[in-house]
Amino acid sequence: MILYLRTFGVAVAAMIFLVGCETAPITGRSQLILMGDEQVEALGLQAYQEMKKEKPLSNDQALNRRIQIVGRNIARISPKPDWNWEFNLFEDDSPNAFALPGGKVGVNTGLFKVAKNDAQLAAVIGHEVAHAIARHGAERMSQGQLAQAGGAAVAVATGSEAYVGAYGALAQLGFMLPNSRVQESEADHIGLLFMAEAGYDPREAVHLWENMEAAGAGGQLEWLSTHPSPDNRIRRLQELMPEAMAIYQRKG
């Protein structure tokens, strides 16, 4: 028992020592950021270029035009309108999108199976733009560094590598996955306000997730997932809707 307490104390001390004093925009949440923006953005650009080589881009002009218009409208009202934003459409049947540091956003063609109009598309792109603006990529990499440091602390504290695997599993379930879900919920919040500010009806974000749920997205148990369940996302969006509607109505 003393050994486990000692190990736990070392890991917690490492976390307290390393936690950065950054804050996320809009939500004000404290963030762990251990990496500089230039370094993270360079890694994001490199990953994006590799992805464009490995994953086919779509030639659908109508869909490309829609993501460019919606993407630029949201990027324009974001805190970083001067970033070199990129919005690309990838041939992929999964209803998904992603963002990489520095404003590199990808949308899969399969997303249009659930995003039935431009406002629902704006809910997705707003969410991805929010990930980039909130520096979630840098935060995720920093959390990975912290988890590695914790593993090293376990090895030092126990004098053995035998407990490192168990620590890694606990860190994944108790730290990495919950923090990932926090980032997803935060991107939902910020993205909802972004889409409203850009003139898209935020109520369509709820309809998007109803479509996602009907299509079978988010079937995995939430505590084993990097994303909140669709039901929880819808509930949270509805709680935030008065704030978003006030912005939307003011813009209208």
Q: Which residues are catalytic?
A: 128
SS3 assignment for the chain: CHHHHHHHHHHHHHHHHHCCCEECCCCCCEECCCCCHHHHHHHHHHHHHHHHHHCCECCCHHHHHHHHHHHHHHHHHCCCCCCCCEEEEECCCCCCEEEECCCEEEEEHHHHHCCCCHHHHHHHHHHHHHHHHCCHHHHHHHHHHHHHHHHHHHHHHHCCCCCHHHHHHHHHHHHHHHHHHHHHHHHHHHHHHHHHHCCCCCHHHHHHHHHHHHCCCCCCCHHHCCCCCHHHHHHHHHHHHHHHHHHHHHHC
Tallying the residues shown for the chain, one arrives at 252
